[in-house]
Amino acid sequence: MTAPLQGKTILVTRSAGQSGEFRHRLQAEGANVVEMPALEITAPDSWDPLDRAIAQLTSFDWLVLTSANGVEFFMARLRHHDKDSQALAQMKIAVVGRKTARVLQAHQLNPDFVPPEYVADALGAHFPGSPDLTGLKILFPRVQQGGRERLVADLTAKGAKVVEVPAYQSRCPEAIAPEAEATLRQGAVDVIAFASSKTVRFFHQLIEAANLPLDMARVKIASIGPQTSRTCQERLGQVDIEAQDYTLEGLTQAIVTLLSRP
């Protein structure tokens, strides 16, 4: 039996070193996967705000983590200060999505709350105690720039005090990976897959800088969820399919569905 993505080339735009799971899922369906990292994840410009928050962990009621990167960088900084998961024993933890929850559990911590939808906006809408969060102090280690403004606004509007601290930052790579550029120039890509809005923006920035035209009549765009889809429409003018389940598994299934259409 022929694999559903046999003979199809999928361009994956996740950050370098973080595309393995997605690549393996697509390859299991028969796809030829070309990686074009459109994101670089690095330490923040300064650790000082996060370090001050870690020194005052007992003053917080909740810890909010909205991505696997947030978990990993926060926990690494905790270890830097000779602390472990026990330092969070008095706090409750809220995360967005199954993957973030799994990464947290790998550090011997279980989330106290995961919203029903795997998007940050749902966290603000369904946060425990809503609509009155008066008196709650929430620590939010996050990406240095961009995203999650609505979440903070929602929690603040309900009375919570949200302390935002940069735990990592995401940047646009300096250049397109050579294999990806060659494949795009040859017009050999069937689907470009996006798992975040930032990868869409940085992808667009990279192809414009490289003067790399895309045949949007031929190339299909697959998005992991609503926010990413909006950015695809804004920057690329197109979204051909959006995952029903906002996970890499859901995005893989969406691509299979898209390329199975007559």
Please tell me whether residues 147 and 65 are part of one structural domain. Answer: yes
What is the reported pLDDT for 261? 82
- Domain termination residue (choose one: 121, 153, 171): 171
- The answer on pLDDT for 125 being more than 70 is yes
Half-sphere exposure at residue 260, Cβ-oriented, CA atoms within 13 angstroms: 12
Dist CA 151 CA 125 (whole Å): 8
Please tell me whether residues 61 and 144 are part of one structural domain. Answer: yes
- The answer on pLDDT for 176 being more than 80 is yes
CATH of the domain at 30: 3.40.50.10090
Cβ pair 35, 177 in contact under 8 A: yes
Please tell me whether residues 69 and 144 are part of one structural domain. Answer: yes
Mean pLDDT of 168-174: 93
Please tell me whether residues 182 and 246 are part of one structural domain. Answer: yes
Indicate the number of domains in the chain: 2
Please tell me whether residues 58 and 163 are part of one structural domain. Answer: yes
Mean pLDDT of 8-19: 87
Quote the domain boundaries for residue 222: 9-39+173-260
Please tell me whether residues 25 and 93 are part of one structural domain. Answer: no
- For the full predicted model, state whether its pTM sits above 0.85: no
Domain membership flag for residue 1: no
- Domain termination residue (choose one: 139, 171, 203): 171
For residue 118, name the pLDDT band (cuts at 50, 70, 90).
low
Domain membership flag for residue 79: yes
Please tell me whether residues 27 and 81 are part of one structural domain. Answer: no
What is the reported pLDDT for 119? 67
Dist CA 112 CA 95 (whole Å): 8
Helices (H) and strands (E) in the chain, counts: 10, 10
Domain membership flag for residue 2: no
User: What is the DSSP annotation of 110-153?
Assistant: --SB--SSSSHHHHHHH-TTTT--TT-EEEEEEESSSS-HHHHH
Domain membership flag for residue 115: yes
Bridge partners for 199 per DSSP: none
